[in-house]
Amino acid sequence: MIQRFKPGLLAVLRRLGLRAQPAPTPAYQRGRGTYGHPTVLDWGEGAKLSIGAFCSIANGVTILLGGEHRTDWVTTYPFSELWPGARHIKGHPKTKGDIVIGNDVWIGRNATLLSGITVGDGAVIGSEAVVGKNVAPYTIVAGNPAVCVRQRFSAEIVAQLAAIAWWDWADAEIESAIPFLLSPDIQAFIDYAQTRRASA
């Protein structure tokens, strides 16, 4: 389940002493096997969220699909949201675009993902990281702002894993591969996957 809130509404409800309830979730894409309950802050600017298959999303993860203040305008104040006479002026808040999270991604506790980013397959986002730029496949990032800590595997292995794309396999095929998936012997998994492909 993805919890979606419209932050401007939250502030109004708080002032009135009311408790906010999650808004109905729009058609965000979420792949099979993915678990976790990220909070998605969406100001209705049209940005989309796509989360791949078999992702692990820890508690406290926040995904901002927009809501950025305009630093290129005279004021950063959100008059369009909070001032009745300015509601007709569009463009504030703004978004940098869609968020695309690949397959088999692990997002640590209390991480924040900002709009307009792509997180590659097999990436790892450390706890409390603030991610404002793209994360390459099989890369570990951490910190505020998030920076590359290291690559999980060599470029050659990453290319092989991308070509294998085990997350697209049928459940029965994944079940057969479990001993290889749950192992540090990456080459054994690659050999298994290539044998599987050759026999198909």
Query: Taking Cα atoms as reference points, which of 28, 36, 32, 29 lies closest to residue 54?
Result: 32
Asked, for residue 169, whether it belongs to a domain, the answer is no
Cα distances (Å, whole numbers) of residue 41 to 77, 90, 117:
18, 19, 15
N-to-C CA span, the chain = 36
Strands 147-151 and 139-142: antiparallel
Q: What is the DSSP string of 68-119?
A: B--TTSS--S-HHHH-GGGTT--S-SB----EEE-SS-EE-TT-EE-SS-EE
Asked, for residue 167, whether it belongs to a domain, the answer is no
Asked, for residue 140, whether it belongs to a domain, the answer is yes
Cα distances (Å, whole numbers) of residue 152 to 139, 140, 142, 161:
6, 7, 13, 12
CA distance 71 to 122: 34
Asked, for residue 184, whether it belongs to a domain, the answer is no
Counted domains in the chain: 1
Report pLDDT for 148: 97
Cα distances (Å, whole numbers) of residue 56 to 43, 89, 110, 119, 141:
25, 39, 13, 13, 15
Q: Do residues 8 and 69 make contact, with C-beta atoms less than 8 angstroms apart? A: no
Asked, for residue 186, whether it belongs to a domain, the answer is no
Asked, for residue 72, whether it belongs to a domain, the answer is yes
CATH number of the domain residue 9 falls in: 2.160.10.10
Asked, for residue 157, whether it belongs to a domain, the answer is no
SS3 185: coil
Active-site residue list: 69
Q: What is the pLDDT along the chain (200 residues), one digit of tens a residue?
A: 455 555 555 565 566 555 555 555 566 899 999 999 999 988 888 899 999 999 999 999 999 998 889 999 999 998 888 888 988 998 888 899 999 999 999 999 999 999 999 999 999 999 999 999 999 999 999 999 999 999 999 999 999 999 999 999 999 999 999 999 999 999 999 999 999 877 76
Query: Residue 111 sits in which domain range?
Result: 3-152
CA distance 115 to 150: 23
Report pLDDT for 9: 55
Instruction: Report which residue type is found at 112.
Output: T
Asked, for residue 81, whether it belongs to a domain, the answer is yes
